Structure 1
Amino acid sequence: MVYNPQIHHRHSIRLPEYNYRQPGYYFVTMSTQNRECLFGEIKEEKIILSEIGKIVYDFWPKVREHFNNVELDEFIVMPNHFHGIVVIKEILNYRGEDNSRRGNLYCGGGVTPPRRLLSSPRLGQIIAYFKYQTTKHINKLLRMPAKKIWQRNYYEHVIRNDQSLYNIRNYIVNNQLKWNKDVENLKSEDKNIKDYYGKIIDYE
């Protein structure tokens, strides 16, 4: 099936009143422009990364080097999309206290002392940095400086409990085994992104 923006358009799914700087675990999905399979292909239920896909795979761990209170959990690069779990931790205050357990979100443990004094980044800033850097490196490889690599928006879900975290980790690890039924696959009959991921996450 050819990409159809009327069917596959990813509407804004940000929670209007939610503070995306809050410490917590976030499940994110980023798709390529027009769902083009730039990153590789699935063969015998395994992802075979292209040179472009390898850039995405290699750069993701570097995100935590740029943001001093960000950790990364499970992730996978698929033919036309990327799944990952981003962990935002609270920056130590001036007394050196670990505030990561404050609030109601499912939060991580100890916080690595910041290497530089920065305010906590929003989730959108983290994603924008990743998209910008990977696009820059990919376009350099392709010698096509104006090529759009990523779809403008992205899907996110705030992970609120251990069961949801387990379900999402399990889905990411096994995503390549279920490519034929993946909502991101243009050949899939499932078109409702929210319902599709809702079944995986088992909404809290």
Structure 2
Amino acid sequence: MSKNLRMQGGDFTSPGGYFVTICTKRMRPVFGTVVNGHMHLNDAGNVADAFWREIPEHFPHVIVDEHVVMPDHVHGLLHIPTASKAHSPTACRGGMEAFGKPVPGSSPTVIRSYKSAVSRALGQKFWHPRFYEVRARDERAIANIRRYIRENPAN
């Protein structure tokens, strides 16, 4: 039985903040190096960073907050400020994803698209197949997540 890394039964289209961590396979350093507590992106890292910033161009309802591209993973905070179209009566199970039925506008769909775009641009598949996602409970949690992301290269 495989371990699910996201909250069971969660609705990942509902309004709120989502802290996402996406790792490379076998934690292979693909995106650059950390030197003296500062991340130095290589060409692949610049692509990963640029594509993260472009998420709202492809998913206009998503707001990109704090993020950092590290050598072997990406941390990001995404906000879905209002209920997406996935909450329409025709949406799959009220906005909840089912195997083979991605929900438009859900955070898993956004992350899948991001990973696919970066892989296509770099001409290789290097992502771990899953990702970690935590729903921010309140403004205090969001502030803590932002600080964690900003301080990640130094740690």
* Structure 2 CA distance for partners of 1:17 and 1:137, relative to 1, 3 Å: same
Q: CA deviation at 1:11?
A: 3.2
Q: What SS does the aligned partner of 1:86 have? A: strand
TM-score (norm 1): 0.63
* Structure 2 CA distance for partners of 1:92 and 1:59, relative to 1, 3 Å: closer
Q: Which has the higher strand share?
A: 2
Q: CA deviation at 1:120?
A: 5.3
Structure 2: distance between partners of 1:39 and 1:88: 27
Structure 1: distance between partners of 2:56 and 2:50: 12
Q: Does 1:69 align with 2:46?
A: no
2:13–2:84 contact (8 Å) kept in structure 1: no
The unaligned stretches of length 5 or more in structure 1 are: 1-9, 94-118, 140-146, 179-204
Structure 1: distance between partners of 2:82 and 2:74: 25
| Aligned position for 2:39 | 47
* Aligned residue identity for 1:85: L
* Aligned residue identity for 2:151: N
| Aligned position for 1:33 | 25
Structure 2: distance between partners of 1:11 and 1:29: 16
TM-score (norm 2): 0.83
Q: What SS does the aligned partner of 2:14 have? A: coil
> Which among 121, 144, 147 is matched to residue 137 of structure 1?
121
* Structure 2 CA distance for partners of 1:92 and 1:154, relative to 1, 3 Å: closer
| Aligned position for 2:92 | none
Q: RMSD in angstroms over aligned alpha carbons?
A: 1.8
Q: CA deviation at 1:32?
A: 0.7
CA displacement 1:82-113 (0-9 Å, x = unmatched): 000011122589xxxxxxxxxxxxxxxxxxxx
The unaligned stretches of length 5 or more in structure 2 are: 86-102
* Alignment of structure 1 residues 98-137 onto 2, 5 Å: 121-137=105-121
| Aligned position for 2:5 | 13
Q: What SS does the aligned partner of 1:131 have? A: helix
Structure showing greater relative contact order (alpha-carbon pairs closer than 8 Å, 6 or more residues apart): 2
Percentage identity across paired residues of the two chains: 29
| Aligned position for 2:72 | 80
CA displacement 1:20-50 (0-9 Å, x = unmatched): 1111100000001110001001111111111
1:69–1:120 contact (8 Å) kept in structure 2: no
Q: What SS does the aligned partner of 1:165 have? A: helix
Structure 2: distance between partners of 1:169 and 1:92: 24
Give the number of equivalent residue pairs: 137
2:25–2:126 contact (8 Å) kept in structure 1: yes
Higher radius of gyration, 1 or 2: 1
Q: What SS does the aligned partner of 1:126 have? A: helix
Structure 2: distance between partners of 1:72 and 1:89: 11
Structure 1: distance between partners of 2:60 and 2:142: 23
* Aligned residue identity for 2:22: M
Q: CA deviation at 1:57?
A: 0.7
Q: What SS does the aligned partner of 1:11 have? A: coil
